[in-house]
Every structure is written in C-alpha cells, then in structure tokens.
Chain A
Amino acid sequence: GAVVSQHPSWVICKSGTSVKIECRSLDFQATTMFWYRQFPKQSLMLMATSNEGSKATYEQGVEKDKFLINHASLTLSTLTVTSAHPEDSSFYICSAMGGKETQYFGPGTRLLVL
C-alpha cells in the first residue's frame, strides 16, 4: 500500500519550453501533496505544499509563476515548469500524505534542460 508514482521518470527539453510532471497516489487518497527539488548529493528542498482543490503554498524563494502546481483531485498533483532554463535542471520528487503524519514519496523525475 501507499504507492506514489511520478511521470515521466526523466525528461529532456529545450530551453524555453514547459514541462509537466505528474504525481499520483495509486492506492490511497492524498489530501496533501508536496513537491521537492533535490540537487546532487544534497537533501530535499521543499518547493510547495498543495491541498486538493486549493492553491498551493510555496516556500520562500520559489517562483509560483514558474513552478505551477495543480492539485485537481485527491490522487493527482501536477508540477509544470514553465519556460524552463538550464538552471531548472534537477531531480524533482513529489510526496503524498493520506492520513496523518506520514509522507510517501514518488520515485522522482530527472529534468534536463538544454
């Protein structure tokens, strides 16, 4: 139980294009989903918290117009990197929380912007 998937697992795109990453909770309903960014050999950095049906809460320093988050249902959240640039290249990980306290993480999406 408590499986979270992400799609795609990795993506290469040209600078200036937009990329959408999906995060799904497969066997539970996620009232809250989180989006993280991870740089090589570093810990996870929380980007935003999203609750189903409401606007995401972004962490300080994260551009909400660049990283669009939509949490349209209890099993799906999407992160769209708009007008991507090479500095947006990173490993993006989502997590989902169904009940209390425990976050279940997706396998991550590797983004490379050329």
Chain B
Amino acid sequence: AQSVTQLDSHVSVSEGTPVLLRCNYSSSYSPSLFWYVQHPNKGLQLLLKYTSAATLVKGINGFEAEFKKSETSFHLTKPSAHMSDAAEYFCVVGGVGNQFYFGTGTSLTVIP
C-alpha cells in the first residue's frame, strides 16, 4: 500500500534562507513521487517528480528533491526562499491504477 507523511504542517522561513519541506513515503514497490505547489484559490502546479531515474531531482523555481530509499524520504529543498514561494506544498506518491496518494500538505510562510 502507498502512503505519504508530510512531517510539518507549517514551515516559516526568512526570505533568502534555505527551505526544507519533509516528506516520508511508504510504498510496496518502486514509487513515483511528486511535489506540487498550490497558491491560494489555485490548482496544483507540478514542481518536480521522481520516476526511478536520478535520485536528485531538479524542478522549477529552484526547487529540488532527493529520493532516499534507505530513509524512505523525498524532502523538498530550495537554497534561498523568495516571497513568491509562500504557498501550500503537497508531497504525492503514485499508486496502482495511476491513483495519487496525497500528503496532508505543508504551508510555507516566507517572512520578509
């Protein structure tokens, strides 16, 4: 069975400092993993995805994530936060039949 745990419901960082959003997954087979971002009253935008290629995945807007099988983690990072990064972030694992399993989301606040 597939499941996702986002370890922090809320993260606050100062503008210009690094961002770390944590995600652990459970999967009975080699997973597909995704990070999506959602700005208020908007749909979800794909940031990046891991599909069993390189373990370090680079996405849009300077975000990247590293797949660590031994730790069952897929944490999202960015070296320097920007005000426009403030949003809700969802870690997602792909399951059987193309179904997605969502984490509960992490709200990122960027302090000027």
Question: CA of A4 to CA of B98 in the docked complex: distance in angstroms?
Answer: 17
**B43 pairs with A6, CB closer than 8 A:** yes
Stretch at the interface among A12-20, A41-49, A66-74, A75-83: A41-49
CB under 8 Å from chain A, chain B span 61-112: 90, 94, 97-100, 102-105, 107
Contact status of A105 and B44, CB under 8 A, knowing A32-B98, A43-B90, A43-B103 = yes
**B105 pairs with A101, CB closer than 8 A:** no
**B97 pairs with A103, CB closer than 8 A:** no
Interface of A is mostly: strand
**B97 pairs with A107, CB closer than 8 A:** no
Q: 1/0 per position for A83-99, CB-CB distance to B under 8 A? A: 00000000101010100
**A103 pairs with B45, CB closer than 8 A:** no
B36 nearest CB neighbor, chain A only: A105
User: How many interface residues does A have (CB within 8 Å)?
Assistant: 25
**B43 pairs with A107, CB closer than 8 A:** yes
CB under 8 Å from chain B, chain A span 28-46: 32, 34, 41-44, 46
**B43 pairs with A46, CB closer than 8 A:** no
A58 to chain B, nearest CB (A): 13
Tell which of A34, A43, A44, A102 touches B49, judged by Cβ atoms closer than 8 Å: A102
Spell out B's residues near A (CB within 8 Å).
Answer: 32, 34, 36, 41-46, 49, 51, 90, 94, 97-100, 102-105, 107
A-B contact pairs, 25 of them (CB 8 A): A2-B46, A32-B98, A41-B107, A42-B104, A43-B90, A43-B102, A44-B90, A44-B102, A49-B98, A49-B99, A91-B41, A93-B44, A95-B100, A97-B98, A101-B49, A101-B98, A103-B98, A103-B100, A104-B46, A105-B43, A105-B45, A107-B42, A107-B43, A108-B41, A108-B43
Given A32-B98, A49-B99, A97-B98, output 14 extra A-B contacts at Cβ < 8 Å.
A6-B43, A43-B104, A44-B44, A46-B100, A93-B43, A101-B94, A101-B98, A103-B100, A105-B36, A105-B44, A105-B46, A107-B43, A108-B42, A110-B41
